[in-house]
A and B are shown apart, each in its own frame.
Chain A
Amino acid sequence: NAGVMQNPRHLVRRRGQEARLRCSPMKGHSHVYWYRQLPEEGLKFMVYLQKENIIDESGMPKERFSAEFPKEGPSILRIQQVVRGDSAAYFCASSLMGQANQPQHFGDGTRLSIL
């Protein structure tokens, strides 16, 4: 499967724990985007990364959230000290180039539930 791969598909954490979400972009894609989807809502942009660089993190909460896209390996979205409000579906997308008219290809998402 050459598509965007996210894991895990479902993640359950207790309040105060850490959540790590992984995303492997499509083969050949070096641009990665993370979006959050709250129940019954559309997606909201969180962060845009290119290999080893954060290009735009304007949609990321200032605290507890971080993202990386190392030279080797998947992109990681990390949420520290999770709270109930972090429960959502987190989607990763990748594109060949970081331009507006380039389609973003999405993974199946990670559904995070906080107990």
Chain B
Amino acid sequence: GDSVTQMEGPVTLSEEACLTINCTYTATGYPSLFWYVQYPGEGLQLLLKATKADDKGSNKGFEATYRKETTSFHLEKGSVQVSDSAVYFCALSEDSNYQLIWGAGTKLIIKP
């Protein structure tokens, strides 16, 4: 079945460092891909999405490009801030299905 694999956390970086959180997926069809962020004690917020190959989603300085050839959707940011500390989830949904399939989440800790 479909699945999402994220790099294990926690990922600890200093402020202004570059960030990459890896996400790869397996799917039978042509999924839509999402990154959600969960701040401590809160629900999930949609960060960005891409619905077809080579699409780039971007928001709040974060970017991710839908790479069909490598089945990946890595999250990147050029310069992280302490306020970016959160858990980041990669997720997919198949064309024919509304269910979101989730990665296990990657905890990001940014130190001042």
Q: Which residues in A have some Cβ–Cβ distance to B below 8 Å?
A: 4, 6, 31, 33, 35, 40-45, 48, 56, 59, 91, 93, 95, 98-109
Contact = CB atoms under 8 A, between A and B. Distances in A.
Contact of B99 (A45, A103, A106, A109): A45
A108 to B, nearest CB: 4
B32 A91 contact: no
B98 A100 contact: yes
Interface residues of B, number: 28
Contacts of A45: 99-101
B43 interface: yes
Contacts of B34: 103
Interface in B74-106: 89, 91, 93-105
A4 to B, nearest CB: 8
B102 A100 contact: no
Nearest to B105: A42
A41 B100 contact: no
B26 interface: no
10 smallest CB-CB distances across A and B, nearest first, come from A42-B102, A108-B43, A100-B93, A106-B44, A101-B32, A106-B43, A101-B51, A45-B99, A42-B104, A43-B102
Interface in B1-60: 4, 31-32, 34, 36, 41-46, 49, 51
